[in-house]
Structure 1
Amino acid sequence: MTDLPFGFSPPPNPDDHGDGKSGGGAVPPGGMPPFDISQLGQMLSQLGQMLSQSQSSGGGPVNYDLARQIAVQQLAQSGGTSGADQAGAVADAVHLAEMWLDPVTTLPAGARVAQAWSATNWVEKTLPTWQRLFDPVAQRISGAWVEALPEEAKQAAGPLLAMVGQMGGMAFGSQLGNALAQLAGEVLTSTEVGLPLGPDATAALLPANIEKFTSGLERPASEVLVFLAAREAAHQRLFTHVPWLRQRLLDTVEEFARGIKVDTSALEQLASQVDPSNPGSIEEAMRSGVLEPQTTPEQKAALTRLETLLALVEGWVDVVVADAVGERLPGADALRETLRRRRASGGPAEQTFATLVGLELRPRRLRAAAALWRLVGDQHGIDKRDDVWAHPDLVPTSADLDDPMEFAERLGVTYAELDDPIAALERAEREKREENGPTEG
Structure 2
Amino acid sequence: MSDNNGRGPEDDDAQKDPAEELREALRNMLHGGQGFDASKLAGVAGLPGDPALVQQLVAQMQRALMQDGKGFSTDTAAEHAKQIVSQGHREVSDEEKTRYEHTFRLAELWLAEATTIGELVETPRTMTRREWVGESAPTWASLAEPVADSIADALMRALTEQLPDEMLGMVGQSNTMLRNIGGAMFSMQLGQVIGDLAKEVISGGDIGMPVLTRRRATLIPQNVDAFGEGLDIPASEVELYLAVREVAHARLFQHAKWLPLHLTSQVIEFAHGIQIDVRAIDDLASQIDPSSPEQIREALSNGSFIPPRTPQQEAALARIETMLALVEGWVDVVTQEAVERLPKGEALGEMMRRRRASGGPAERAFSSLVGLELRPRRLREASAMWRLVGEAHGVEERDKLWQHFDGLPTSDDIDNPMELVRRIGVSDFNVGDEMDAALESLLNDPSSFGEAPEGGSIKE
Bin for the TM-score computed over the shorter chain? 0.7 to 0.9
Are residues 136 and 46 of structure 1, via their aligned partners in 2, closer, same or farther at CA, if it must alter by over 3 Å?
closer
Give the partner amino acid of 2:327: V
Aligned equivalents of 1:288 and 1:195: distance in 2? 23
Residues 131-172 of structure 1: CA deviation (Å, up to 9, x unaligned): 2221222245447999xxxxxxxxx86651211221121121
Are residues 80 and 207 of structure 1, via their aligned partners in 2, closer, same or farther at CA, if it must alter by over 3 Å?
same
**Is the aligned partner of 1:302 residue 2:316?**
yes
Q: 1:372: Cα distance to partner?
A: 0.6
Give the partner amino acid of 1:363: P
After TM superposition, the score normalised by the length of structure 1 is: 0.74
Give the partner amino acid of 2:415: D
DSSP 3-state at the match of 2:266? helix
Residue 92 of structure 1: which of 97, 102, 116 is its match? 102
Q: Bigger shift: 221-230 or 105-114? A: 105-114
Residue 317 of structure 1: which of 311, 331, 355 is its match? 331
Residue 413 of structure 2: which of 400, 403, 415 is its match? 400
Aligned equivalents of 2:35 and 2:420: distance in 1? 75
Given that 1:261 and 1:294 are in contact with CA atoms closer than 8 Å, whether structure 2 keeps it comes out as no
Query: Which sections of structure 1, spanning at least 5 residues, go unmatched?
Result: 11-44, 147-155, 415-441
Give the partner amino acid of 1:404: P
Residue 410 of structure 1: which of 423, 438, 447 is its match? 423
Are residues 118 and 200 of structure 1, via their aligned partners in 2, closer, same or farther at CA, if it must alter by over 3 Å?
closer
Q: 1:283: Cα distance to partner?
A: 6.4
Q: 1:69: Cα distance to partner?
A: 2.3
Q: 1:121 corresponds to which residue?
A: 131
Higher RCO (CA-CA < 8 Å; seq separation 6+): 2
Residues 323-345 of structure 1: CA deviation (Å, up to 9, x unaligned): 21212x21111111111111112
Aligned equivalents of 1:366 and 1:304: distance in 2? 13
Given that 1:84 and 1:206 are in contact with CA atoms closer than 8 Å, whether structure 2 keeps it comes out as no
Aligned equivalents of 1:216 and 1:394: distance in 2? 43
Give the partner amino acid of 1:295: R
Q: 1:281: Cα distance to partner?
A: 10
Are residues 93 and 290 of structure 1, via their aligned partners in 2, closer, same or farther at CA, if it must alter by over 3 Å?
closer
Given that 2:209 and 2:263 are in contact with CA atoms closer than 8 Å, whether structure 1 keeps it comes out as yes
Residues 255-284 of structure 1: CA deviation (Å, up to 9, x unaligned): 211221322213434666698xx9999867
Q: 1:63 corresponds to which residue?
A: 73
Given that 2:367 and 2:373 are in contact with CA atoms closer than 8 Å, whether structure 1 keeps it comes out as yes
Q: 2:92 corresponds to which residue?
A: 83
Residues 291-331 of structure 1: CA deviation (Å, up to 9, x unaligned): 2322011110111111111111111011111121212x211
Q: Summarize the alignment of residues 415-434 of structure 1 with structure 2, pairs less than 5 Å apart.
A: none
Residue 376 of structure 2: which of 355, 359, 363 is its match? 363
Residue 254 of structure 1: which of 268, 282, 291 is its match? 268
Q: 2:33 corresponds to which residue?
A: 7
**Is the aligned partner of 1:331 residue 2:344?**
yes
Aligned equivalents of 1:269 and 1:364: distance in 2? 32
- Percent of aligned positions that are identical: 44
Given that 1:62 and 1:169 are in contact with CA atoms closer than 8 Å, whether structure 2 keeps it comes out as yes
Q: 1:73 corresponds to which residue?
A: 83
Residues 11-52 of structure 1: CA deviation (Å, up to 9, x unaligned): xxxxxxxxxxxxxxxxxxxxxxxxxxxxxxxxxx99776242
Residues 88-114 of structure 1: CA deviation (Å, up to 9, x unaligned): 222221111111112321211235032
Q: Summarize the alignment of residues 210-229 of structure 1 with structure 2, pairs less than 5 Å apart.
A: 210-229=224-243
Are residues 161 and 386 of structure 1, via their aligned partners in 2, closer, same or farther at CA, if it must alter by over 3 Å?
same
Q: 1:378 corresponds to which residue?
A: 391
DSSP 3-state at the match of 2:124? strand
Q: 2:176 corresponds to which residue?
A: 162
Query: Which sections of structure 2, spanning at least 5 residues, go unmatched?
Result: 1-28, 37-55, 157-169, 428-460
Are residues 303 and 185 of structure 1, via their aligned partners in 2, closer, same or farther at CA, if it must alter by over 3 Å?
same
Are residues 325 and 142 of structure 1, via their aligned partners in 2, closer, same or farther at CA, if it must alter by over 3 Å?
same
Residues 206-243 of structure 1: CA deviation (Å, up to 9, x unaligned): 11111111112111111111110111111111111101
**Is the aligned partner of 1:109 residue 2:109?**
no
Are residues 118 and 124 of structure 1, via their aligned partners in 2, closer, same or farther at CA, if it must alter by over 3 Å?
same
Given that 1:171 and 1:279 are in contact with CA atoms closer than 8 Å, whether structure 2 keeps it comes out as no
Are residues 343 and 133 of structure 1, via their aligned partners in 2, closer, same or farther at CA, if it must alter by over 3 Å?
same
Give the partner amino acid of 2:307: P
Give the partner amino acid of 1:393: D
Give the partner amino acid of 2:315: A
Aligned equivalents of 2:360 and 2:223: distance in 1? 14
Aligned equivalents of 1:115 and 1:68: distance in 2? 21
RMSD (Å) for aligned C-alpha atoms: 3.2
**Is the aligned partner of 1:181 residue 2:192?**
no
After TM superposition, the score normalised by the length of structure 2 is: 0.71
Give the partner amino acid of 2:33: G
Give the partner amino acid of 1:193: I
